[in-house]
Amino acid sequence: MKILFINGSPKGDRSVTLCTARHLEKRYPAHEYSVLNAGARIKALEKDFSEAESAINAAEVVIFVYPVYTFIAPYQLHRFFELLKASEASCKGKYFAEITTSKHFYDVTALKYVEENACDLGMRYVGALSADMDDLRSEKGRHEADSFFERLMFDIENGHYKEAEALCARTDSEVYAQQLPYKKKTGGKEVAVVTNAATDDINLRNMIEDFSAACKYRVRVVNVRDFPFKGGCLGCFNCAVSGKCVYNDGFEEFLRKDVQTADAIIYAFTVSDHYTHSSFKLYDDRQFCNGHRAVTAGKVTGYIISGRYSEEANLRMITEARADVSGMYFAGVAGDEGDTAKELEGLAKTVCFALDNGLSAPKSFYGVGGTKIFRDLVYLMQGIMQADHKFYKAHGIYDFPQKKRGMIFAMKALGLLMRSEAVQKKMKGEMTKYMLLPYEKVIEKTVPKEN
């Protein structure tokens, strides 16, 4: 078969993920392979997409090969999908699969994002390999890569594939008109709305205006499209080593001064291609200069989203998981699928209420699981990720269970005690009562909160 690897990594031929593709090429020489370095050559493809078009037209199977970047794919692959959707390339009915490497931090949302976009183009989904970036170096990892490829061929031979359901045509909803009264601003706190609203996206612009009007605190709108980015994150890890980005376009200063100083950060965008316009992903990826540090933890966050957000389960997971991992208080999402004005006013009031009352919430699986992946990664890579390591030590993020010696000892002692038949008899049916004792003590000490 004619197999095209579309390499979304900005590192081009130096991509770790591409090594899995190269391994498969050597393992299964009966097929004809080619590589399109879409990520590294995105600027050239923006000017002339014909090379990509002919490569796709000639292929029987397309395999998207890319690293996971901040919950999804690199900005460059997002941009590639925009260009591909606008092109004449014949994608319909073509088989596609995915190969990705990462540390498994939200690889699931990245895989779904690519799947949804390729399915939009009428392509047939036949599977994915989501490997750890080191997997190819082990026998087990190579076996898994081979298994993926053999299953891929098996599925194609047997016509096992998934296609997007035909969606019924949607009529565009009316443009939202500003209608909320302007609330006089009080000082003390500041809210930043970070958006990629295009000049002609009047709908989203009006939503932001109304959110700002309904907010009792001053709202500063930061449009990432206005920032003179020199380019997308290159994945070069220069920032991890030296703390400085290779681009000297002032992004880090902009991020620290214009965004991270606010008490609440609200993201505003219009849904497209199962996320939003790639300008937002460019902004997301460049935040890699923060390393793996939740520098805005304790602040408040929320979203203003225009479009069919309720139909985008994967996007909902991304927004909720981002808030959770960041340790920010999630005030909610205001959309334009129902009573837009009510939702915007509700979000504005909730953000102010959360700020006034210092609300916080425990992390869910999204945040706890994600933080543990980072914890282990930073600990191992502390020699390089020095700023992350310092931050993790200072903020008690190294919560390794093996450090909790007291707890381990107490459990061992309890286990020993419970071996005795006499103790077992005494404890029979009483275990839950004993487990509750420390909580009962807390409730005993609870006092009414003063207003």
231: left (phi over 0), alpha (psi -120 to 50) or beta: left
If binding is defined by CB under 6 A, does position 235 make contact with ligand FMN?
yes
* Least separation in angstroms between CB 24 and ligand FMN: 15
**Dihedrals phi, psi of 6, to nearest 5 degrees:** -95, 105
Q: Is 117 helix (H, G, I), strand (E, B) or coil?
A: helix
Burial class, 108, CB count within 10 angstroms (exposed 0-12 / middle 13-18 / buried 19+): middle
If binding is defined by CB under 6 A, does position 103 make contact with ligand FMN?
yes
* Least separation in angstroms between CB 315 and ligand FMN: 15
Burial class, 133, CB count within 10 angstroms (exposed 0-12 / middle 13-18 / buried 19+): middle
If binding is defined by CB under 6 A, does position 20 make contact with ligand FMN?
no
What's the start-to-end Cα distance of the chain, in Å? 71
Site string for ligand FMN, 63-82 (x = CB under 6 A): ----xxxxx-----------
* Least separation in angstroms between CB 90 and ligand FMN: 27
If binding is defined by CB under 6 A, does position 9 make contact with ligand FMN?
yes
Site string for ligand FMN, 113-142 (x = CB under 6 A): --------------------x---------
Task: Look at strands 217-223 and 275-276 and give their pairing.
Answer: unpaired
* Least separation in angstroms between CB 104 and ligand FMN: 5
If binding is defined by CB under 6 A, does position 11 make contact with ligand FMN?
yes
* Least separation in angstroms between CB 9 and ligand FMN: 3
What are 202's two structure tokens? Answer: 């009047």
Lay out the sheet containing 2-7: strands in order across: 32-36, 2-7, 61-67, 95-102, 124-132
Shorter beta-carbon distance to ligand FMN: residue 99 or 219? 99
Question: Residues for the chain: how many in total?
Answer: 451
Strand partners, 10: none
Shorter beta-carbon distance to ligand FMN: residue 67 or 127? 67
Sign of CA dihedral 353, 257, 201, 106: negative
* Least separation in angstroms between CB 300 and ligand FMN: 23
The one-letter amino acid at 348: A
Among 7-15, 89-97, 151-159, 215-223, the segment contacting ligand FMN (CB under 6 A): 7-15
Shorter beta-carbon distance to ligand FMN: residue 68 or 300? 68
Sign of CA dihedral 431, 435, 441, 447: negative
Shorter beta-carbon distance to ligand FMN: residue 66 or 217? 66
Shorter beta-carbon distance to ligand FMN: residue 69 or 309? 69
**Which has the closest alpha carbon to 85: 271, 337, 272, 235?**
272
If binding is defined by CB under 6 A, does position 104 make contact with ligand FMN?
yes
Give contact residues for ligand FMN (rule: CB under 6 A). 9, 11, 15-17, 67-71, 101-107, 133, 233, 235, 285, 288
